[in-house]
Structure 1
Amino acid sequence: MSTPDRLIEATQELLWERGYVGTSPKAIQQRAGAGQGSMYHHFAGKPELALAAVLRTSAGMRETAGRLLDGPGPAYERIAAYLLREREVLRGCPVGRLTMDPDVVASEALRAPVDETIGWLRDRIAEVLQEGLDTGEFTPGLAPREVAATVVATVQGGYVLARASGSSAAFDSAVRGLLSLLGAHVAANRPV
Structure 2
Amino acid sequence: MERNTRDNLINSAFEEIFTNGYQGASLTTILKNAKVHKGSMYHFFANKKELALVSIKEKIYEKFAIRYNTILQLDSNYLEAFVASLKDITQRDFNLGCPIASVIQEMSNLDEDFKALMQQIYQSFRKNIKDILDKAIEKKEMKECDTSKLALYIVSILEGAILSAKASGDVQDYVEVIEMLSTFILSYRL
TM class by shorter chain equals 0.7 to 0.9
* Equivalent residue, structure 1, for 2:28: 26
Structure 1 match to 2:41: 39
Contact 2:9 2:30 in 1 (8 A): yes
- What code does the residue aligned with 2:176 have? S
Cα separation, 1, equivalents of 2:128 and 2:113? 23
Residue 99 of structure 2 is matched in structure 1 by 94
* 1:190 match: none
1:78 to 63, 81, 87: 81
Q: Structure 1 regions of 5+ residues with no counterpart?
A: 188-192
How far the C-alpha of 1:82 sits from its partner, in A, is 3.0
**Which stretch has the larger CA shift, 157-166 or 70-79?**
70-79
Q: Give the match's secondary structure for 2:157.
A: helix
The alpha carbon displacement at 1:105 in A equals: 4.5
Q: Name the residue aligned to 1:53.
A: 55
Shift of residue 16, structure 1, vs aligned partner: 0.5
For residue 15 of structure 1, the aligned residue among 14, 17, 23 is: 17
1:124 to 117, 120, 128: 128
Listed as ranges, the gaps of 5+ residues in structure 2 are none
CA deviation profile, 1:51-101 (whole Å, cap 9, x unmatched): 121121232122123333313222321321331233233132223321121
Which string of whole-angstrom CA distances, capped at 9 and with x for unpartnered residues, describes residues 97-151 of structure 1? 211213x5432322333222221221232232233334443345x3311111111
SS in 2 for 1:137: coil
Please name the residue that 2:165 is paired with.
Answer: 162
Q: Determine the structure 2 residue equivalent to 1:180.
A: 183
**In structure 2, do the counterparts of structure 1 residues 150 and 35 end up closer, same or farther at CA, with 3 Å as the change threshold?**
same
Do residues 149 (structure 1) and 152 (structure 2) align? yes
Moved more, 49-58 or 67-76: 67-76
Q: Which portions of structure 1, spanning 4 or more consecutive aligned residues, are displaced by more than 6 angstroms?
A: none
**Contact 1:89/1:162 (8 A) holds in 2:** no
Task: Tell me how many residue pairs correspond in the alignment.
Answer: 185
Give the match's secondary structure for 2:24: coil
Tell me the distance in 2 between the aligned counterparts of 1:3 and 1:74. Answer: 40
The alignment partner of 2:91 has SS state of coil
2: CA distance, partners of 1:25 / 1:139:
50
Identity of aligned residues (%): 24
TM-score (norm 2): 0.85
- Work out the CA distance in 2 between the residues paired with 1:124 and 1:39: 32
Higher helix share: 2
TM-score, normalised via structure 1 length:
0.84
| 1:65/1:121 contact within 8 Å kept | no
